[in-house]
C-alpha cells in the first residue's frame, strides 16, 4: 500500500449522492488505480423529495437504487446502507459503534468523510446537519474507538473483529483544505455517475456545468482545463 494508491478506501457519508457530489472523481480515481472502494451511507435519503405524492418508503427504494447505480459508474466495490432516518442523524454512541464495526471489518487504509466543523459555505449555503453528524461520528470512530481494543470489546470477543488503525483521513467539504487531488481524468465519470440521481437533480446540464465550474483549478490554462477535488488530509501516526 502506498499513500497514492491505498489498497482499501472507505467513504462514509450521510446521504445517497453525498459521495458523488463531494468526492466522486477522487473515488473513481482510487478505483481506477486498483483500490478496493467501499461507500457507507448512513441514511437512505428518505426525506429528500418535494413531490407531494412521494412517500418515504418509496423514496428509500428509489434513492438506494440510484446510489448503487451511481457507484457502479464510479467503480465502487460495495455500497452499505445503515438506514438511519434522514434529517435525524446525530453523532451518537450507536452510530459510532456501527461505523467502528465497519472499520474493523473492512479495514480501510484511507477513509473519506465530511467536515463536522462546516456549518456554512461562504455566504451562499448552510451545511446539512446530517453532514456534520456523520463527519463527527466517523472521526470519533477512527480515533480512538476502532483503534483501541478496549472500546467495544465485545466486537473482538463475539465477532472476531480485531482493532484497526486507519492511516489516512480525507475530510471533504472543509473550508480549509490542505490537499488538491487532480481529477482531470475522472471528472466526467463523476458527472456521468451523478446522472443516476434522477430523483435529486432536475437539470442535468446545469449540474454538469456547476460540477466543472466548481472543480476547475484556477491556475490551469483555458485550453487545457485541470480539475481538482479538495480535502483536509490527516495522516495518522
Is residue 124 in some structural domain? yes
| Tally of structural domains, the chain | 1
Whether the per-residue pLDDT at 4 is higher than 80: the answer is no
Residue 99 has pLDDT above 90, yes or no: yes
Q: What is the pLDDT of residue 222?
A: 83
CA angle 87, 91, 96 (to 5 degrees): 125
Nearest residue to 211 (alpha-carbon basis) of 231, 232, 189, 196: 189
Mean pLDDT of 89-93: 98
Q: What is the b/e burial string over 96-109, where b = at least 16 CB atoms within 10 angstroms of the residue's CB? A: bbbbbbbbbbbbbb
As a whole number of angstroms, the distance between CA 188 and CA 73 comes to: 11
Residue 96 lies in a domain: yes
Tally of CB atoms within 10 A around 149: 15
- The CATH number for 175's domain is 3.40.50.10320
Residue 190 lies in a domain: yes
Find, among 195, 200, 196, 197, the residue nearest to 49 by Cα.
Answer: 200
Longest dimension (CA), the chain: 59
pLDDT of residue 219 exceeding 90 = no
Q: Is the pLDDT of residue 3 over 50?
A: no
Does residue 46 sit within a domain?
A: yes
Take residue 194 and report the three cell numbers written for it. Answer: 451523478
pLDDT of residue 237: 86
DSSP string spanning the chain? Answer: --SSS-SEEEEEESSTTHHHHHHHHHHHHHHHTT-EEEEEEEE--TT----TT--HHHHHHHHHHHHHHHHHHHT-SEEEEEEEPTT-----HHHHHHHHHHHHHH--SEEEEE-TT--EETTTEEPPHHHHHHHHHHHHIIIIITT-TTSSHHHHHHH--------EEEEES-SS--EEEE-TTTHHHHHHHHTT-TTT-S-HHHHHHHHHHHHB-TTS-TTS--BEEEEEEEE--
- pLDDT at site 51: 93
Q: Is residue 196 included in any domain, yes or no?
A: yes
When the pLDDT of each residue in the chain is averaged and rounded to a whole number, the result is 96
Structural domain includes residue 3: no
Q: Is the residue at 121 inside a domain?
A: yes
Q: What is the pTM of this model?
A: 0.95
pLDDT per residue as tens digits for the range 24-47: 999 999 999 999 999 999 999 999
Which pLDDT value is given to residue 146?
Answer: 98
Give the domain range for residue 121: 8-235
Across 8-14, average pLDDT: 98
Is 2 within the bounds of a domain?
A: no
Amino acid at each position: 500500500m502506498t499513500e497514492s494508491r491505498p489498497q482499501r478506501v472507505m467513504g462514509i457519508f450521510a446521504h445517497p449522492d453525498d459521495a458523488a457530489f463531494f468526492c466522486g472523481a477522487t473515488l473513481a480515481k482510487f478505483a481506477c488505480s486498483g483500490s478496493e472502494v467501499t461507500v457507507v451511507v448512513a441514511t437512505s435519503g428518505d426525506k429528500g423529495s418535494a413531490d407531494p405524492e412521494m412517500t418515504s418508503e418509496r423514496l428509500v427504494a428509489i434513492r438506494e437504487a440510484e446510489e448503487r447505480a451511481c457507484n457502479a459508474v464510479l467503480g465502487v466495490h460495495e455500497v452499505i446502507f445503515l438506514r438511519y432516518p434522514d434529517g435525524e442523524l446525530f453523532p451518537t454512541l450507536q452510530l459510532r459503534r456501527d461505523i467502528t464495526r465497519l472499520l474493523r471489518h473492512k479495514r480501510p487504509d484511507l477513509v473519506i468523510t465530511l467536515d463536522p466543523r462546516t456549518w456554512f459555505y461562504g455566504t451562499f449555503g448552510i451545511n446539512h446537519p446530517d453532514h456534520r453528524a456523520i463527519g463527527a461520528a466517523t472521526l470519533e470512530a477512527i480515533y480512538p474507538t476502532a483503534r483501541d481494543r478496549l472500546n467495544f470489546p465485545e466486537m473482538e470477543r463475539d465477532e472476531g473483529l480485531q482493532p484497526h488503525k486507519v492511516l489516512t483521513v480525507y475530510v471533504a467539504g472543509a473550508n480549509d483544505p490542505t490537499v488538491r487531488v487532480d481529477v482531470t481524468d475522472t471528472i466526467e465519470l463523476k458527472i456521468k455517475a451523478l446522472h443516476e440521481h434522477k430523483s435529486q437533480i432536475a437539470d442535468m446540464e446545469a449540474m454538469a456545468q456547476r460540477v466543472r465550474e466548481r472543480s476547475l483549478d484556477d491556475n490551469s490554462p483555458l485550453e487545457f482545463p485541470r480539475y481538482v477535488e479538495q480535502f483536509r488530509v490527516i495522516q495518522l501516526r
